[in-house]
Amino acid sequence: MKMELIQPFINAADAVLSQGLQSPMSIENLSMEEEAYRFKGVAAMIELSGDIEGRIIFDLAPKTAARVASHFAGTQLPETDELVREAVCELANQVIGNAVAVLNDQGFKFRVHPPALHTSEQGPKSTEDTEALVLCFDTADGSVYMNIALRYHVSSSMAARAGA
Amino acid sequence: MEQFAPVKRSKDGQPVQYLIVDDSVFARKNLGRIIESFGGQVVGEAGDGLTAISEYDRLKPDIVLMDITMPQMEGIEAAEKIVQKTPEARVVMVSSVGYQENIVAALQRGARHFVQKPVKPEVLYEVIKYVLGEDGVVANAASAGA
């Protein structure tokens, strides 16, 4: 994966989380993982197709998800509230939408698919991606994980342009 | 949440009526809270473009806040269909997918404005005033609670 693909997602996560939580955040950890991904709590997975394809997962421990959702909603939400799951999906939508806007204005064309919700309660579900960048953002409400597995589409003219 | 000077309809001094269209319940509730801080009234909600069209016909709101990426029918197509039938309809796109191509497409197909998510209340407030034009009036603080 090339950094030019990843950076817009990091910037978007920083902007969306900082604004929504009204506090600064930092990248606590960054690693490459080749094993199938196991969800940690409440996770929203969004797939991209087009010049760039793959998927991005936003994953929060249940307590963190409730705290973040409460912050965004402006009211205290219990972990079990359906709005908590909705909030994680909307958060993922906003981060990915903002990043996609930047990449699209750079000439990349793709489609963003609606988010799919996963929870750790559903069992050890995993994705089949072989290489993903995992970022852990440290926020005042807890850790927010973003797992990015993206690649240039093989037949895309953008791949040639990018030298992939 | 910050409170804004209420924006009312100039024709009758009543709250501006909104239809909120977004497939995310959370996003709809969030937008609803922002609208209420402007003194507005949410008269209806829809989770997809098709429902938005029928709800617009039924409710005839002053403003539609419309997401883009939705199931059944996407927001730009729904906006176009609403404006084709009711040219005076005021549709404001509210989406995180704010790239130039999308914005231009939305405006060309009838939307009056575009607001990027995450929505900053102060930005949406200015857009609402701009889109209402002479049909909206900012009430002063003394009459806000009336």
pLDDT surpassing 50 at residue A124 = no
Q: Which of B2, B24, B28 to mutate to test the interface with A (most CBs of A within 10 A)?
A: B24
A24 preceded by a cis bond (ω within 30 of 0) = no
- The overall average pLDDT reported for chain A is 83
ipTM: 0.79
**Chain B contact for A90, CB < 8 A?**
yes
pLDDT surpassing 70 at residue B143 = no
Chain B residues in contact with A86 by the CB 8 A cut-off are 24-27
Mean pLDDT of A72-95: 89
**Rounded CA gap, B144 and B146, in Å?**
6
pLDDT surpassing 90 at residue B31 = yes
Q: Which among A19, A102, A114 has the least Cβ separation from residue B69?
A: A114
* Cβ distance of B24 and A114 shorter than 8 Å: no
Chain A residues in contact with B71 by the CB 8 A cut-off are 114
Mean pLDDT of B87-92: 98
Mean pLDDT of B38-61: 97
Chain A residues in contact with B33 by the CB 8 A cut-off are 74
Mean pLDDT of A42-55: 91
Question: CB–CB of A34/A1 below 8 Å?
Answer: no
Confidence class for position B146, pLDDT limits 50, 70, 90: very low
Q: Which among A74, A104, A114 has the least Cβ separation from residue B99?
A: A104
Q: Give the pLDDT confidence score for residue A81 in this predicted structure.
A: 86
**Chain A contact for B60, CB < 8 A?**
no
Q: Give the pLDDT confidence score for residue A128 in this predicted structure.
A: 56
Per-position DSSP letters for B98-139, written without gaps between them: --HHHHHHHHHTT-SEEEESSPPHHHHHHHHHHHHGGGEEEP
**Chain A contact for B2, CB < 8 A?**
no
pLDDT surpassing 90 at residue A71 = no
**Chain B contact for A94, CB < 8 A?**
yes
pLDDT surpassing 60 at residue B141 = no
pTM for this prediction: 0.85
Going along chain B from its start, the domains and CATH numbers come out as 11-128 (3.40.50.2300)
Nearest to B68 by CA among B38, B105, B40: B105
Confidence class for position A121, pLDDT limits 50, 70, 90: low
- Of all residues in chain B, the one with the smallest CA distance to A69 is B26
Mean pLDDT of A18-25: 83
Q: Which helix (H) or strand (E) is B97 found in, with range?
A: none
Q: Give the pLDDT confidence score for residue A161 in this predicted structure.
A: 53
Each domain of chain A, given as residue ranges in start order, spans: 3-156
Burial class of residue B64 (count of CB atoms within 10 Å of its CB; 0-12, 13-18, 19+): buried
**Rounded CA gap, A121 and B121, in Å?**
36
Region A3-156: CATH code: 3.40.1550.10
* Cβ distance of B117 and A94 shorter than 8 Å: yes
**Chain A contact for B97, CB < 8 A?**
yes
pLDDT surpassing 80 at residue A49 = yes
Q: Which among A90, A100, A114 has the least Cβ separation from residue B26?
A: A90
Mean pLDDT of B42-65: 98
Chain A residues in contact with B115 by the CB 8 A cut-off are none
Report pLDDT digits (tens) over A84-115.
999 999 999 999 999 988 998 888 888 888 88
Quick one: tokens of B39?
A: 């003194």
**Rounded CA gap, A12 and B14, in Å?**
38
**Rounded CA gap, B94 and B140, in Å?**
27
Please state, as a whole number, how many other Cβ atoms lie within 10 Å of the Cβ of residue B118.
20
**Chain A contact for B130, CB < 8 A?**
no
Q: Give the pLDDT confidence score for residue B59 in this predicted structure.
A: 98
**Rounded CA gap, B14 and B139, in Å?**
10
pLDDT surpassing 70 at residue A159 = no
pLDDT surpassing 70 at residue B144 = no
Q: Give the pLDDT confidence score for residue A40 in this predicted structure.
A: 83
CA of B67: how far to CAs of A147, B13, B42, B105, in Å?
25, 28, 16, 14
* Cβ distance of B69 and A72 shorter than 8 Å: no
